[in-house]
Structure 1
Protein backbone atom coordinates (compact mmCIF):
# COMPACT_ATOMS: atom_id res chain seq x y z
CA UNK A 1 0.00 0.00 0.00
CA UNK A 2 1.33 3.40 -0.95
CA UNK A 3 0.59 6.10 1.60
CA UNK A 4 0.37 9.83 0.87
CA UNK A 5 3.34 11.74 2.29
CA UNK A 6 2.40 14.21 5.04
CA UNK A 7 3.46 17.75 4.09
CA UNK A 8 5.32 20.36 6.10
CA UNK A 9 3.04 22.12 8.57
CA UNK A 10 1.19 19.00 9.75
CA UNK A 11 1.45 18.71 13.55
CA UNK A 12 2.40 15.00 13.36
CA UNK A 13 5.79 16.05 11.98
CA UNK A 14 6.61 18.17 15.05
CA UNK A 15 5.52 15.65 17.68
CA UNK A 16 7.83 13.19 19.46
CA UNK A 17 6.63 9.75 18.33
CA UNK A 18 5.48 6.97 20.67
CA UNK A 19 7.26 3.63 21.06
CA UNK A 20 5.94 0.58 19.22
CA UNK A 21 4.90 -2.36 21.40
CA UNK A 22 5.70 -5.79 20.02
CA UNK A 23 2.52 -7.39 18.66
CA UNK A 24 0.59 -4.10 18.47
CA UNK A 25 0.88 -3.93 14.69
CA UNK A 26 2.21 -5.92 11.78
CA UNK A 27 5.65 -4.33 11.54
CA UNK A 28 6.65 -6.41 8.52
CA UNK A 29 3.61 -5.20 6.56
CA UNK A 30 4.17 -1.61 7.68
CA UNK A 31 7.83 -1.82 6.64
CA UNK A 32 6.83 -3.24 3.25
CA UNK A 33 4.27 -0.44 2.76
CA UNK A 34 6.75 2.22 3.83
CA UNK A 35 9.44 0.94 1.46
CA UNK A 36 6.87 0.91 -1.35
CA UNK A 37 5.81 4.48 -0.48
CA UNK A 38 9.43 5.63 -0.26
CA UNK A 39 10.38 4.07 -3.60
CA UNK A 40 7.31 5.60 -5.28
CA UNK A 41 8.51 9.01 -4.07
CA UNK A 42 12.18 8.34 -4.97
CA UNK A 43 13.32 8.70 -1.36
CA UNK A 44 16.12 7.01 0.56
CA UNK A 45 14.41 7.10 3.95
CA UNK A 46 10.91 7.40 5.36
CA UNK A 47 9.71 7.79 8.94
CA UNK A 48 6.25 6.78 10.18
CA UNK A 49 5.29 10.41 11.05
CA UNK A 50 5.68 11.19 7.34
CA UNK A 51 2.75 8.87 6.62
CA UNK A 52 0.73 10.25 9.53
CA UNK A 53 1.68 7.63 12.13
CA UNK A 54 3.25 9.04 15.29
CA UNK A 55 5.29 5.94 16.13
CA UNK A 56 9.04 5.32 16.49
CA UNK A 57 9.49 3.51 13.18
CA UNK A 58 11.51 4.33 10.08
CA UNK A 59 13.00 2.65 7.03
CA UNK A 60 16.07 3.45 4.95
CA UNK A 61 17.45 2.23 1.65
CA UNK A 62 20.36 4.47 0.73
CA UNK A 63 21.59 2.37 -2.20
CA UNK A 64 20.20 4.92 -4.73
CA UNK A 65 22.69 7.48 -3.35
CA UNK A 66 25.17 5.61 -5.57
CA UNK A 67 27.99 5.23 -3.08
CA UNK A 68 29.76 1.87 -2.96
CA UNK A 69 29.49 1.71 0.84
CA UNK A 70 25.69 1.97 0.62
CA UNK A 71 25.09 -1.00 -1.69
CA UNK A 72 22.57 -3.22 0.08
CA UNK A 73 22.06 -0.69 2.88
CA UNK A 74 18.36 -1.34 3.48
CA UNK A 75 17.10 -1.40 7.07
CA UNK A 76 14.08 -1.10 9.33
CA UNK A 77 14.46 0.77 12.64
CA UNK A 78 11.90 0.27 15.41
CA UNK A 79 12.10 2.19 18.72
CA UNK A 80 15.53 3.53 17.78
CA UNK A 81 17.66 5.54 20.18
CA UNK A 82 20.84 7.26 19.09
CA UNK A 83 23.31 6.53 21.89
CA UNK A 84 26.21 8.59 20.60
CA UNK A 85 27.12 11.00 17.81
CA UNK A 86 30.83 11.52 17.18
CA UNK A 87 33.41 12.22 14.52
CA UNK A 88 33.87 15.26 12.34
CA UNK A 89 30.97 17.58 11.65
CA UNK A 90 30.24 17.88 7.95
CA UNK A 91 27.72 19.74 5.86
CA UNK A 92 25.62 18.06 3.20
CA UNK A 93 22.61 19.24 1.22
CA UNK A 94 19.51 17.48 2.55
CA UNK A 95 15.97 17.32 1.28
CA UNK A 96 12.82 15.75 2.64
CA UNK A 97 9.79 14.08 1.05
CA UNK A 98 7.57 16.15 3.39
CA UNK A 99 9.19 19.38 2.14
CA UNK A 100 9.29 18.99 -1.66
CA UNK A 101 11.48 21.38 -3.63
CA UNK A 102 13.56 22.51 -0.65
CA UNK A 103 17.18 21.40 -0.20
CA UNK A 104 19.60 23.00 2.22
CA UNK A 105 22.96 22.26 3.79
CA UNK A 106 22.75 20.67 7.23
CA UNK A 107 25.75 20.00 9.46
CA UNK A 108 25.82 16.70 11.34
CA UNK A 109 28.38 14.50 13.09
CA UNK A 110 29.84 11.79 10.84
CA UNK A 111 29.47 8.75 13.14
CA UNK A 112 26.51 7.45 15.16
CA UNK A 113 25.92 4.57 17.54
CA UNK A 114 22.26 3.52 17.54
CA UNK A 115 20.15 0.98 19.41
CA UNK A 116 17.02 -0.39 17.68
CA UNK A 117 14.93 -3.43 16.79
CA UNK A 118 14.42 -4.65 13.22
CA UNK A 119 11.23 -5.97 11.59
CA UNK A 120 11.84 -9.42 13.15
CA UNK A 121 12.10 -7.87 16.63
CA UNK A 122 15.81 -8.65 16.75
CA UNK A 123 17.63 -6.12 18.92
CA UNK A 124 20.71 -4.33 17.52
CA UNK A 125 23.31 -1.80 18.61
CA UNK A 126 25.26 -0.67 15.55
CA UNK A 127 27.71 2.03 14.49
CA UNK A 128 27.23 3.79 11.15
CA UNK A 129 29.27 6.52 9.47
CA UNK A 130 29.21 8.84 6.49
CA UNK A 131 26.07 8.97 4.36
CA UNK A 132 24.55 5.96 6.13
CA UNK A 133 24.78 7.84 9.44
CA UNK A 134 23.33 10.98 7.85
CA UNK A 135 20.30 9.19 6.38
CA UNK A 136 19.63 7.54 9.74
CA UNK A 137 20.05 10.85 11.63
CA UNK A 138 17.60 12.56 9.26
CA UNK A 139 14.95 9.85 9.71
CA UNK A 140 15.63 9.61 13.45
CA UNK A 141 14.96 13.34 13.71
CA UNK A 142 11.47 12.68 12.30
CA UNK A 143 10.57 10.37 15.19
CA UNK A 144 11.86 13.07 17.56
CA UNK A 145 9.64 15.73 15.95
CA UNK A 146 12.57 17.52 14.29
CA UNK A 147 12.81 18.55 10.62
CA UNK A 148 16.00 19.37 8.75
CA UNK A 149 14.76 22.96 8.43
CA UNK A 150 15.03 23.24 12.23
CA UNK A 151 18.83 23.21 11.81
CA UNK A 152 18.85 26.22 9.49
CA UNK A 153 19.91 29.71 10.54
CA UNK A 154 17.19 32.27 11.33
CA UNK A 155 18.19 34.10 8.14
CA UNK A 156 17.76 30.97 5.99
CA UNK A 157 14.42 30.23 7.67
CA UNK A 158 13.18 33.75 6.82
CA UNK A 159 14.18 33.26 3.20
CA UNK A 160 12.28 29.95 3.05
CA UNK A 161 9.23 31.06 5.06
CA UNK A 162 7.03 31.79 2.04
CA UNK A 163 7.90 28.52 0.35
CA UNK A 164 7.29 26.51 3.54
CA UNK A 165 3.95 28.24 4.14
CA UNK A 166 3.01 27.46 0.55
CA UNK A 167 3.86 23.77 1.02
CA UNK A 168 1.64 23.58 4.12
CA UNK A 169 -1.18 25.11 2.06
CA UNK A 170 -0.78 22.64 -0.77
CA UNK A 171 1.27 24.81 -3.11
CA UNK A 172 3.97 22.25 -3.84
CA UNK A 173 5.18 20.20 -6.74
CA UNK A 174 5.79 16.55 -6.04
CA UNK A 175 5.68 13.47 -8.25
CA UNK A 176 3.96 11.53 -5.46
CA UNK A 177 0.75 11.79 -3.47
CA UNK A 178 0.81 14.18 -0.55
CA UNK A 179 -1.46 15.09 2.33
CA UNK A 180 -1.49 18.83 3.12
CA UNK A 181 -2.48 20.16 6.56
CA UNK A 182 -4.24 23.34 5.38
CA UNK A 183 -6.39 21.66 2.69
Structure 2
Protein backbone atom coordinates (compact mmCIF):
# COMPACT_ATOMS: atom_id res chain seq x y z
CA UNK A 1 0.00 0.00 0.00
CA UNK A 2 1.24 3.49 -0.87
CA UNK A 3 1.51 5.53 2.33
CA UNK A 4 0.93 8.68 0.26
CA UNK A 5 -2.07 7.48 -1.80
CA UNK A 6 -4.14 10.34 -0.33
CA UNK A 7 -1.98 12.81 -2.28
CA UNK A 8 -3.69 11.75 -5.54
CA UNK A 9 -6.71 13.88 -4.63
CA UNK A 10 -4.92 16.39 -2.40
CA UNK A 11 -6.20 19.44 -4.30
CA UNK A 12 -9.75 18.58 -3.16
CA UNK A 13 -8.78 18.19 0.51
CA UNK A 14 -9.68 21.04 2.84
CA UNK A 15 -6.42 22.57 4.11
CA UNK A 16 -5.86 22.52 7.85
CA UNK A 17 -5.62 26.08 9.20
CA UNK A 18 -2.03 27.13 9.91
CA UNK A 19 -1.44 28.93 13.21
CA UNK A 20 0.26 32.31 13.06
CA UNK A 21 2.83 33.46 15.64
CA UNK A 22 2.63 34.25 18.53
CA UNK A 23 0.33 31.25 19.17
CA UNK A 24 1.63 29.58 22.39
CA UNK A 25 1.79 26.04 20.88
CA UNK A 26 4.46 27.32 18.47
CA UNK A 27 6.77 27.92 21.46
CA UNK A 28 6.16 24.57 23.19
CA UNK A 29 8.44 21.56 22.91
CA UNK A 30 6.26 18.95 21.20
CA UNK A 31 5.86 15.56 22.81
CA UNK A 32 7.14 12.33 21.31
CA UNK A 33 4.72 10.51 19.01
CA UNK A 34 3.63 7.20 20.54
CA UNK A 35 2.18 4.19 18.68
CA UNK A 36 -1.31 5.07 19.93
CA UNK A 37 -0.97 8.50 18.26
CA UNK A 38 -0.65 7.04 14.76
CA UNK A 39 -4.39 7.16 13.85
CA UNK A 40 -4.53 10.88 14.75
CA UNK A 41 -1.25 11.55 12.93
CA UNK A 42 -2.43 9.74 9.78
CA UNK A 43 -5.77 11.59 9.89
CA UNK A 44 -3.94 14.94 10.09
CA UNK A 45 -1.67 14.36 7.08
CA UNK A 46 -4.07 15.07 4.16
CA UNK A 47 -5.10 18.46 5.60
CA UNK A 48 -1.50 19.31 6.43
CA UNK A 49 -0.23 18.44 2.95
CA UNK A 50 -3.12 20.36 1.41
CA UNK A 51 -2.30 23.43 3.54
CA UNK A 52 1.42 23.20 2.76
CA UNK A 53 0.93 22.83 -0.99
CA UNK A 54 -1.72 25.58 -1.20
CA UNK A 55 0.30 28.08 0.86
CA UNK A 56 2.67 27.31 -1.00
CA UNK A 57 5.31 25.97 1.34
CA UNK A 58 7.93 23.23 1.52
CA UNK A 59 7.51 22.09 5.13
CA UNK A 60 4.96 22.07 7.93
CA UNK A 61 5.34 20.84 11.51
CA UNK A 62 2.50 19.49 13.64
CA UNK A 63 2.63 22.42 16.14
CA UNK A 64 1.87 24.79 13.24
CA UNK A 65 -1.57 23.16 12.97
CA UNK A 66 -2.11 22.98 16.74
CA UNK A 67 -0.82 19.44 17.34
CA UNK A 68 1.92 19.35 19.93
CA UNK A 69 3.44 16.12 18.61
CA UNK A 70 6.90 15.48 17.14
CA UNK A 71 6.19 15.05 13.45
CA UNK A 72 6.49 17.16 10.36
CA UNK A 73 6.05 16.97 6.62
CA UNK A 74 8.45 18.17 3.94
CA UNK A 75 8.39 18.36 0.16
CA UNK A 76 11.03 20.52 -1.52
CA UNK A 77 10.19 19.23 -5.02
CA UNK A 78 8.32 21.47 -7.44
CA UNK A 79 5.22 20.97 -9.55
CA UNK A 80 4.31 17.44 -10.55
CA UNK A 81 7.56 16.01 -9.13
CA UNK A 82 6.24 15.84 -5.58
CA UNK A 83 8.52 14.04 -3.15
CA UNK A 84 6.58 13.98 0.15
CA UNK A 85 8.49 13.09 3.26
CA UNK A 86 6.97 12.50 6.72
CA UNK A 87 9.34 12.47 9.66
CA UNK A 88 8.12 11.18 13.00
CA UNK A 89 10.19 11.84 16.12
CA UNK A 90 13.06 13.22 14.02
CA UNK A 91 16.45 14.08 15.40
CA UNK A 92 19.61 15.44 13.87
CA UNK A 93 22.40 13.02 14.76
CA UNK A 94 25.24 14.64 12.83
CA UNK A 95 25.91 18.12 11.43
CA UNK A 96 28.55 19.28 9.00
CA UNK A 97 31.08 21.83 10.16
CA UNK A 98 30.37 23.75 6.96
CA UNK A 99 27.53 26.18 7.28
CA UNK A 100 25.36 27.84 4.70
CA UNK A 101 23.19 30.92 4.73
CA UNK A 102 19.77 30.66 3.16
CA UNK A 103 16.78 32.98 3.20
CA UNK A 104 14.05 31.37 5.27
CA UNK A 105 10.40 32.08 5.66
CA UNK A 106 7.68 30.31 7.59
CA UNK A 107 4.00 29.59 7.06
CA UNK A 108 3.42 30.66 10.69
CA UNK A 109 5.14 34.00 10.01
CA UNK A 110 3.61 34.80 6.60
CA UNK A 111 5.49 37.20 4.31
CA UNK A 112 8.45 37.45 6.72
CA UNK A 113 11.92 36.40 5.62
CA UNK A 114 15.50 36.52 6.91
CA UNK A 115 18.87 35.00 6.16
CA UNK A 116 19.59 32.14 8.57
CA UNK A 117 22.89 30.30 9.01
CA UNK A 118 22.65 26.55 9.60
CA UNK A 119 24.83 23.48 9.06
CA UNK A 120 25.09 22.86 5.30
CA UNK A 121 24.52 19.11 5.64
CA UNK A 122 23.01 16.84 8.28
CA UNK A 123 22.36 13.23 9.08
CA UNK A 124 19.02 12.60 10.72
CA UNK A 125 17.13 9.70 12.29
CA UNK A 126 13.36 9.45 12.19
CA UNK A 127 10.49 6.98 12.14
CA UNK A 128 8.52 6.45 8.93
CA UNK A 129 4.75 6.10 8.58
CA UNK A 130 5.33 2.35 8.33
CA UNK A 131 7.00 2.39 11.76
CA UNK A 132 10.59 1.75 10.70
CA UNK A 133 13.49 3.80 11.99
CA UNK A 134 15.65 5.24 9.24
CA UNK A 135 18.67 7.47 8.90
CA UNK A 136 19.09 9.88 6.03
CA UNK A 137 21.81 12.27 4.94
CA UNK A 138 20.82 15.53 3.30
CA UNK A 139 22.22 18.86 2.21
CA UNK A 140 21.17 22.07 0.46
CA UNK A 141 17.51 23.10 0.63
CA UNK A 142 16.31 19.79 2.07
CA UNK A 143 18.76 20.00 4.99
CA UNK A 144 17.69 23.58 5.72
CA UNK A 145 14.00 22.71 5.54
CA UNK A 146 14.34 19.66 7.81
CA UNK A 147 16.32 21.66 10.40
CA UNK A 148 13.67 24.41 10.26
CA UNK A 149 10.86 21.88 10.86
CA UNK A 150 12.72 20.12 13.69
CA UNK A 151 13.17 23.56 15.28
CA UNK A 152 9.36 23.91 15.26
CA UNK A 153 9.13 20.67 17.23
CA UNK A 154 11.42 22.24 19.83
CA UNK A 155 9.43 25.49 20.05
CA UNK A 156 12.01 27.42 18.00
CA UNK A 157 11.14 29.77 15.12
CA UNK A 158 13.55 30.77 12.36
CA UNK A 159 13.63 34.30 13.79
CA UNK A 160 15.32 32.87 16.91
CA UNK A 161 18.43 32.36 14.75
CA UNK A 162 18.80 36.06 13.88
CA UNK A 163 19.68 39.15 15.88
CA UNK A 164 17.20 40.47 18.43
CA UNK A 165 16.85 43.71 16.48
CA UNK A 166 15.93 41.91 13.24
CA UNK A 167 13.67 39.47 15.13
CA UNK A 168 11.78 42.31 16.83
CA UNK A 169 11.36 44.14 13.52
CA UNK A 170 9.92 41.02 11.88
CA UNK A 171 7.58 40.26 14.78
CA UNK A 172 6.30 43.86 14.88
CA UNK A 173 5.75 43.83 11.11
CA UNK A 174 3.92 40.49 11.36
CA UNK A 175 1.66 41.79 14.16
CA UNK A 176 0.89 44.91 12.14
CA UNK A 177 0.03 42.87 9.02
CA UNK A 178 -2.15 40.47 11.01
CA UNK A 179 -3.99 43.37 12.67
CA UNK A 180 -4.62 44.95 9.24
CA UNK A 181 -6.18 41.64 7.99
CA UNK A 182 -8.78 41.56 10.77
Task: Normalising by structure 2, report the TM-score.
Answer: 0.84
Partner of 1:171: 179
Cα distance between partner residues in 2 of 1:28 and 1:122: 15
2:142 equivalent to 1:129: no
- Per-residue deviation, 1:90: 1.0
Partner of 1:53: 67
Cα distance between partner residues in 2 of 1:98 and 1:161: 11
Partner of 2:57: 43
Aligned residues: 167
Conserved in 2, the CA contact under 8 Å of 1:90 and 1:107?
yes
Q: Provide the aligned C-alpha RMSD in A.
A: 1.9
Partner of 1:13: 26
Cα distance between partner residues in 2 of 1:101 and 1:92: 16
- Per-residue deviation, 1:86: 1.1
Greater fraction helix: 2
Partner of 1:77: 87
Conserved in 1, the CA contact under 8 Å of 2:120 and 2:144?
yes
2:159 equivalent to 1:149: yes
Measured against aligned partners, the alpha-carbon deviations of 1:83-139 in whole angstroms (never above 9, x if no partner) come to 121141111110000001101100011111111111111210111111110010011
- Per-residue deviation, 1:157: 2.2
Distance 1:172 1:125, change over 3 A: farther
Cα distance between partner residues in 2 of 1:120 and 1:30: 16
2:109 equivalent to 1:94: no
- Per-residue deviation, 1:144: 0.7
Displacement over 4 Å in runs of 4+: none
Cα distance between partner residues in 2 of 1:124 and 1:172: 45
- Per-residue deviation, 1:38: 0.8
Greater fraction strand: 1
For structure 2, which runs of at least 5 residues remain unmatched after alignment? 1-13
SS in 1 for 2:37: coil
Task: Normalising by structure 1, report the TM-score.
Answer: 0.84
